[in-house]
């Protein structure tokens, strides 16, 4: 997964003690892969669990532990707090949460946190569920939120002590999505965006179905991009192997074209932007069988047309709405895309030539052409997340 807005940022990671500390090693590795500049602060107790040398090796970075390691006028807590564009504390124990919430600065991590004055600060509580739910801890977390910290809620599940409850360290991909949100421009703030993604499936019988090769990656990356830039995003997705973006307003899982039609049409009037990236099956089986059809009984399949969801969305278009389609073509690509743009009354259509190898369906990369009524813009081969950035920029520059 790519995080273009983190690239080149100065990221300060604070690590406090606790069993979840081993997951912070993976976080450091993933941060390094995003091409950020990393520096790490460890508490003394954290250093008991895992060596600072391991963090330094994985992050290829400096690790700081001592408040009074002043050298040539370089004061750790003031210099580090001024250097960082983004400050993450993960994992965060009840102890470090209490210190920061109450302005206690008695070690390097708490001193740096008190000195950090920017809004891009994220804290990830992890602990036993009874500690997490304790009124004192909840009061401290509320205070942190009031002081401008973004608190990423822990997950529910089996804990290190064998108990079950809320207190687990979340997936590091989720942490990175929230990190990116904190440093990204919010030019879509208060905008509502409805996006479809993935394939649809049309059942033949309980074990067979008709579908296509869409992976859903383009729609998911567009959802992630809009959400990072402040939009309230609803993603309606056919079956994929992808994890939904963490910042969605709503995730709706569907199977058939009829399911997707209902999910999209019923939500359409409430959104400023509607984007159909889904590869909707053109046909469905006319006579679905409740029992598995034996292979010697299958001679022909009678099909009937599925609804044209994009055309219905366009015909119901509200004033000021932007409706965007995608066209997956194998021949006469530009002509077919322009025809679809005109016939369906769209504001934009994005052409994806799926006849080219290495792009489009199932790939992490794509090469597209954006068509509007006035112009066309070619976007050379790139990662789908980076193409999502270009598409969002295009919509904002041309319609808002």
DSSP string covering 254-302, please?
Answer: --SHHHHHHHHHHHHTT-SEEEE--B--SEEESS--SSPPPGGG-S---
Give the pair of three-digit tokens for residue 235.
């993603």
User: Within 13 Å of residue 280, how many CA atoms lie on the same side as its CB?
Assistant: 23
Q: Please check whether residue 327 is in contact with residue 352, taking contact to mean a CB–CB distance below 8 angstroms.
A: yes
Nearest CA to 306 among 349, 258, 358? Answer: 258
Q: Is 212 a catalytic residue?
A: yes
Strands 283-285 and 303-305: antiparallel
Out of 10, 212, 382, 398, pick the active-site residue.
Answer: 212
Nearest CA to 242 among 177, 175, 197? Answer: 197
Give the pair of three-digit tokens for residue 394.
């295009």
Give the C-alpha separation, 396 to 105, whole Å: 44
Give the C-alpha separation, 209 to 205, whole Å: 7
Does the CA dihedral 285-286-292-296 come out positive or negative? negative
Alpha carbon distances (Å) from 382 to 6, 70, 119, 366, 395: 18, 45, 31, 6, 19
Q: Where are the beta strands (DSSP E) in the chain?
A: 10-15, 37-42, 62-64, 86-92, 121-125, 150-151, 155-158, 164-168, 192-197, 202-205, 208-210, 232-237, 250-253, 273-276, 283-285, 303-305, 322-329, 348-353, 365-372, 376-383
Q: Which residues are catalytic?
A: 212
């Amino acid at each position: 997964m790519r995080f273009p807005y983190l690239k080149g940022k100065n990221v300060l990671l604070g690590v406090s003690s606790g069993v979840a500390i081993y997951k912070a090693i993976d976080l450091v590795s993933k941060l390094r892969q995003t091409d950020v500049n990393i520096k790490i602060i460890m508490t003394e107790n954290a250093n008991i669990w895992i060596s600072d040398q391991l963090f330094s090796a994985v992050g290829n970075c400096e690790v700081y532990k001592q408040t009074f390691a002043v050298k040539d006028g370089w004061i750790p807590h003031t210099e580090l707090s001024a250097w960082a564009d983004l400050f993450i504390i993960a994992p965060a124990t009840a102890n470090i949460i209490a210190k920061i919430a109450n302005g206690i600065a008695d070690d390097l991590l708490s001193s740096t946190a008190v000195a950090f004055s920017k809004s891009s600060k994220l804290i990830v509580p992890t602990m036993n569920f009874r500690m997490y739910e304790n009124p004192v801890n909840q009061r401290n977390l509320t205070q942190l939120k009031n002081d401008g910290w973004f608190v990423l809620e822990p997950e529910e599940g089996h804990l290190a002590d064998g108990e079950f409850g809320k207190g687990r360290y979340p997936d590091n991909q989720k942490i990175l999505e929230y990190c990116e949100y904190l440093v990204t421009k919010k030019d879509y703030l208060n905008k509502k965006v409805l996006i479809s993604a993935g394939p649809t499936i049309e059942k033949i019988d309980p074990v067979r179905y008709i579908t296509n090769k869409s992976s859903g990656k383009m729609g998911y990356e567009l959802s992630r991009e809009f959400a990072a830039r402040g939009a309230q995003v609803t993603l309606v997705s056919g079956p994929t192997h992808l994890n939904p973006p963490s910042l969605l307003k709503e995730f709706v899982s569907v199977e058939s074209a009829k399911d997707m039609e209902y999910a999209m049409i019923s939500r359409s009037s409430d959104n400023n932007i509607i984007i159909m990236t889904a590869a909707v099956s053109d046909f469905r089986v006319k006579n679905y069988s409740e029992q598995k059809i034996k292979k010697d009984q299958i001679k022909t399949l009678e099909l009937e047309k599925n609804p044209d969801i994009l055309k219905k969305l366009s015909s119901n278009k509200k004033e000021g709405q932007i409706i965007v389609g995608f066209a997956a073509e194998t021949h006469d690509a530009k002509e077919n895309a322009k025809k679809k743009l005109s016939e369906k009354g769209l504001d934009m259509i994005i052409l994806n030539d799926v006849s080219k190898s290495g792009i489009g369906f199932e790939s992490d990369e794509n090469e597209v052409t954006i068509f509007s009524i006035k112009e066309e813009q070619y976007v050379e081969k790139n990662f789908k997340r980076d193409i999502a950035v270009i598409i969002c920029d295009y919509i904002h520059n041309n319609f808002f």
